[in-house]
Chain A
């Protein structure tokens, strides 16, 4: 119970903190809406009017990924710049339990993007929110956000080892959008991208949301997404413990 409380309170704290940043909110709301508009006009131009809801959802998931990528990737670096990393690492709990709420919070603030693209599509382009499985869509969205938060933990633990982690974050945005099939179906990509797509939780999360939107078996995709993310959580936990011990031994915790 105390672990659950730690995760819940920690997540709420970090969601509140991120939500106080005009920069984070503006980027989470405006950029996905621009991308959704682009997707809507592209799908309209190709005569795929019936797929506009799918396009809006896809653009929203792209926003969630951007939020997790930049938020989680810079989670530890952000704490370091604020001067709070030492205090976090001094907490009498495992590092994974203290950092996981930060990465889940970035996924949760990413849902602004998903909501913004759906509201934008409904109000401006009259896209009817006719989900094939409405209840499954809500469950899939929640699971997808939590799963991406776990994936974010692995990113956070990995990025902290790299001096130019934000360069990698800038690099990874479009490849994951592309390979995960958020807007572009995986079938049109070269065959060598298929194994990469298969191990990314973003692929299965986006697929679950797409199936909940346009019809299809939602739960298998969602299960795989959750399974891969739990694996990422375990790997991220080990990586974080390793990084923490190394930083303590070398006295480099507060150094970039």
Chain B
């Protein structure tokens, strides 16, 4: 499901560099502009945000308009419609259950595959060694990469919920919208860190795409988005508790039902905890696998 990588033409040497010609007509040199010294916190924040955006543009294979719209906007909408109509036919739950749940779940596509691409594509394109040679914290580098994917996931979830609600006639209270946005952001962030954890496995396993494809399919089943928890076996519900989206979908359903933010605060907090857990797990796995890759000289072995 990953898109194609098309290397550009090799850069040719420029016979008359612009700098050399400019040097023939000297101009007064302006005094050097010194930017105020940034603290370590600001530097890390810059590394995470700017680095994250650059990595997103370089490594996410689905940023072309065709791929973005087809794979990330239209595909998830049809996923929502498929389960909404299946739910209507089987009468397991109402439209709200399927529309809201699936809308939150659609964020997982960009986040899980994005997180995988954030690490696996570095190795595929032969740039992983350069990243690991960086003197900065790799944890900050890789955590920063989750942010654009989480933003992307949030956008997909919002578009899918809006389109799904309009097409299927679901009314959501206006007062619930800020809360829904917050919940979907939390779900996207948790999913992004989950994707990064899977991406970390890309340092160890040859074909990480199998893991991400299977994980996306498992999220459909285990998060309780399409089958109510009462209809699933206990062990599946227990596994779902540790997965992203499960609690976010629950919180979003409460908000869409007009229960208010207070009713959704519990599941929202649980979703944030799950996300934090995956953030720590991803950082730990990346450290371990980086160490192992260096020790066994297997960094670029595909």
Contact = CB atoms under 8 A, between A and B. Distances in A.
Interface string A96-113: 000000000000000000
A202 B75 CA distance: 18
Nearest to A25: B210
Contact of B89 (A171, A173, A174, A185): A185
B3 A35 contact: no
Interface string A33-64: 01101100111111010000000000000000
Interface in A162-200: 163-164, 166-168, 170-171, 173-175, 177-178, 183-185, 188-189
A183 B232 CA distance: 19
Nearest to A189: B85
Given A171-B70, A188-B85, A31 B3 contact: no
B106 to A, nearest CB: 11
A247 interface: no
Residue of A167, A178, A185 ringed by the most chain B CB atoms within 10 A: A167
Contacts, number: 111
Given A45-B227, A46-B90, A164 B82 contact: no
A107 B4 CA distance: 23
B86 interface: yes
A184 B86 contact: yes
**Chain A interface mostly helix, strand, loop or mixed?**
helix
B229 to A, nearest CB: 11
Given A35-B217, A43-B90, A81-B4, 14 more contacts: A27-B213, A34-B214, A34-B218, A34-B221, A38-B221, A41-B231, A166-B3, A170-B67, A170-B70, A171-B78, A173-B75, A178-B82, A184-B82, A184-B89
22 contacts: A34-B221, A35-B217, A35-B220, A37-B221, A41-B227, A41-B232, A42-B87, A42-B226, A42-B231, A43-B90, A45-B90, A45-B92, A45-B231, A46-B91, A167-B70, A170-B70, A171-B75, A173-B75, A174-B81, A183-B82, A184-B89, A188-B88
Interface of B: 1, 3-4, 6, 62, 64, 66-67, 69-71, 74-75, 78-79, 81-82, 85-92, 207, 209-210, 213-214, 217-218, 220-221, 226-228, 230-232
